[in-house]
Amino acid sequence: MSDLLLHVTGARPNFPKAAPVLAALDDRGFAQRLVHTGQHYDDNMSAVFFRELHLPSPDVNLGVGSGSHAEQTAAIMVALEKEMLAAQPSLVIVYGDVNSTLAAALVTSKLGIPIAHVEAGLRSGDWTMPEEVNRVVTDRLSDRLYATSADAVAHLGSEGVPVDRIRLVGNPMIDTLLKHRDAFDGSRVRAALGLGETYAVATLHRPANVDSPESLGALTAAMSQVADQIDLVLPVHPRGAANLERSGLLAHPRIHPVEPVGYTEFLGLVDRSAFVVTDSGGIQEETTVLGVPCLTLRPNTERPVTITDGTNQLVTPADLPARASAALAAGRPVTWPVPPLWDGHAGERIAGDIATFLA
């Protein structure tokens, strides 16, 4: 094996997590290779992140594109095996819980190469979520597990992961948020939509919310009642666009659908919003640090620390309009707790531990 570190990214949530780790390892002089699987390939879901976050251009883009979970995971595995056999890295670093993460962990473990998992230990307990399967399998195969919160460490311990493999390092995605916060600017979108100072942001893409006609019907009714109270900016994820259109949700005059926007523009919208309605994972963390009330349309979360030490709450479609009304009446909090070690230095801690591990 060489002294090379190989990073595998593939989807929008991976890039803000990888950026501070790549930078911190570069500061330590490590040789690195960045692989982009191409799981997300639209400019606003992928390339814009490399530009805005000053990520190095991928050394290779596998270009796997979309497909079923099996098709996508299999295509990534086949392409990654060739890449890893050629590169012979001393360590492969994977991020989050997308299909690219699982595929990389499976290939790497079969080749006998050590694996480090950034954002290890998150658990929702919901096995209907593909991400839960990806998280659990990746953690089981990893040699170094970098956890963002104490509850993630506890999950790993309860599953029998040896304690010497686990490190509580904080949240590298928050490193990226804090580093780029001065650049957040959603004014272009607000001006284009003719929005005033008071508006909310919504993101919807989970299969449980947008794939089932019954679930989407209840969600449409609830979101329409929220929009009766406040303008809603809705970046439309490609995954659920057709269903959202058919549901009639996008016809409400105060729901403003837009194409997915870049990192700094999206967080500029979030940072100025009255509250956020979402079924995303990462947005729960970003709103926690920004102090934006977050109404998460899910029965569970793999990030409970954003409820105990943040601004997040779980809601159902039935209680969403009332919760939105309460958030609007209460206004943005003046102070709020933030989870320990979400301080902008997680990437440095990860790089330091990788140096120790490889030594």
220 token code pair: 């449409």
Out of 7, 155, 205, 345, which one is annotated catalytic? 205
Cα gap 271→251, rounded to integer Å: 26
SS3 218: helix
161 token code pair: 């992961």
Cα gap 46→50, rounded to integer Å: 7
CA distances from 285 to 13, 116, 249 (A): 12, 22, 26
Cα gap 309→209, rounded to integer Å: 26
**Would residue 345 show up in a list of annotated catalytic residues for this protein?**
no
From the centroid of its chain, how far is CA 252?
Answer: 28
What is the residue type of 218?
A: A
8 Å CB contact between 80 and 107 = yes
In sign, the C-alpha dihedral spanning 138, 144, 148, 151 is positive
Q: How many residues does the chain have?
A: 359
Q: Which residue has the tokens 């400019």?
A: 43
8 Å CB contact between 236 and 260 = yes
Strand partners, 40: none
Q: Look at residues 63, 67, 74, 122 and name the one whose alpha carbon lies nearest to residue 96.
A: 122
Q: Which residues have a catalytic role annotated?
A: 205
